[in-house]
Amino acid sequence: MKKIILSGVLILFVLMAFAQEKAQQERRGKQFTAEQRATLLTKKMQLHLDLSSDQYKKLLTVNTDFLNKKQMAMENRESDGREISKEGKFDMLNAKMDARIAYQNEVKKILNEEQFEKYLKMPKDIEMRHKKCNHRKHHRMGRRHW
């Protein structure tokens, strides 16, 4: 009897942990709109790159377009709700990389050489924090993601 109760409590805790993690992921992703994220990103770029007002306006437009497309792709993927095949994953990652290359080319047109060099160093910090966060999450769940 004790084993049944103990296993029931354990299952309850596991289910609560998964529900809480999913709720946190949803809140994190839907905290800001694409336009708000674009504004924050552009302001961060302005701080790091010392942008002119003309550069700021152009980058705000580019960032807004890029983040809107990214958000729509995420929503389409989430609404689909089915497992993605290997070929589908490849196509999705390929399209994502093409979008990043196009975005980087647009940014390169707007910035001067010195600013672009600083820009290339900027995202590394953001990506490293994101990877650390994902690593901790997977490690906590007993999976390794490297």
Percent of the chain scoring above 70 in pLDDT: 74
Distance, CA of 1 to chain centre: 46
pLDDT: is 104 or 18 the higher one? 104
Q: Residue ranges of the alpha helices (H) in 53-112?
A: 53-80, 86-110
6 token code pair? 């103990």
* pLDDT over 60 at 138, yes or no: no
Listed in sequence order, the residues at least 6 apart from 111 whose beta carbon sits closer than 8 Å to its beta carbon are: 49, 51, 55, 119
* pLDDT over 50 at 75, yes or no: yes
pTM exceeding 0.85: no
pLDDT given at position 97: 93
3-state secondary structure of 34: helix
d(CA 34, CA 26): 15
> How large is the average pLDDT for residues 82-92?
81
d(CA 56, CA 101): 20
Neighbours of 115 (CB within 10 A): 19
pLDDT: is 134 or 69 the higher one? 69
3-state secondary structure of 142: coil
* pLDDT over 60 at 42, yes or no: yes
pLDDT given at position 24: 63
Q: Assess contact for 68 and 34: CB atoms under 8 A.
A: yes
Give the mean pLDDT of the chain: 80
* pLDDT over 50 at 135, yes or no: yes
* Digit-coded pLDDT (tens) for 21-38: 666 665 555 688 889 999
pLDDT given at position 146: 43
Q: What is the DSSP letter of 35?
A: H
pLDDT: is 131 or 50 the higher one? 50
On the 0-12 / 13-18 / 19+ scale of CB atoms within 10 A, 108 is: middle
